[in-house]
Amino acid sequence: MSLRIYRDGPGWTNSHVHRWRWTKAAVKFADDTGPPVRQALSDEAPKKTGSLALSIRYRRNTQAGDGVQLFFETPKRYAKWVIGGAAPHGIEPVAARFLHFFWEREGRWFVRGLHVNHPGIERPNDFPARVLEAKRDDIERNFSRAVEDSFKE
């Protein structure tokens, strides 16, 4: 969602709008909303190894012009396939002669030749959508409070 407000013309100098404290209120909204949503994402993420759940981070970006963005991120590249699923596919080595990987659960390296067939992920797990739906009332309440607070002296 984007909201842009421009003040222009002689009538604005005596207006109460110049006292609008949106940036401060928006930052408070982000800081009140972000950490609980991040925690809910971590709680709802699949726990096969727990690595994805532990890697979810929240950050806030305050932009010039009173914009505030909330980001929920993970460095795990496989997260998009957990969320959206993946069709069965072959895997071949790219930067090595043989396929090899470290299996955390077994605590050792495996070497698997020149090709493997990955079974895919048949049931996508769109846990972010479930979390946002579950947190919708809290997010809306925090946002309404931020708008109200932005007009307070």
78-122: pLDDT as tens digits: 899 999 999 998 988 888 888 887 877 778 887 777 888 888 888
Query: What does the pLDDT read at residue 153?
Result: 60
Please check whether residues 49 and 107 belong to one and the same domain: no
pLDDT band at residue 36 under the 50/70/90 scheme: very high
When pLDDT is averaged across residues 33-47 and rounded to a whole number, the result is: 96
When pLDDT is averaged across residues 40-47 and rounded to a whole number, the result is: 95
Please check whether residues 42 and 61 belong to one and the same domain: yes
Contacts of 146 (CB under 8 A, 6+ apart): 25, 26, 28, 29
Please check whether residues 130 and 96 belong to one and the same domain: no
Please check whether residues 139 and 97 belong to one and the same domain: no
pLDDT score of 16 more than 60: no
Query: What does the pLDDT read at residue 138?
Result: 95
Query: What does the pLDDT read at residue 13?
Result: 54
Could you give the 3-state DSSP secondary structure of residue 149? helix
pLDDT band at residue 141 under the 50/70/90 scheme: very high
CA gap 106, 92 in Å, rounded: 22
Mean of pLDDT over the chain:
84
Share of the chain above pLDDT 70, in %: 84
For residue 102, the Cα-to-chain-centroid distance in whole angstroms is 27
Please check whether residues 2 and 46 belong to one and the same domain: yes
pTM score, two decimals? 0.72
Please check whether residues 81 and 28 belong to one and the same domain: yes
Amino acid identity at 14? N
Please check whether residues 75 and 3 belong to one and the same domain: yes
Alpha helix locations (H) across the chain? Answer: 22-44, 51-55, 79-84, 127-134, 136-150
Query: What does the pLDDT read at residue 2?
Result: 42
Please check whether residues 132 and 70 belong to one and the same domain: yes
Q: How far is CA 14 from CA 4, 19, 119, 148, 152, in A?
A: 20, 10, 67, 21, 17
pLDDT band at residue 1 under the 50/70/90 scheme: very low
Domain count, the chain: 2
Domain membership of residue 100 as a residue range? 87-120
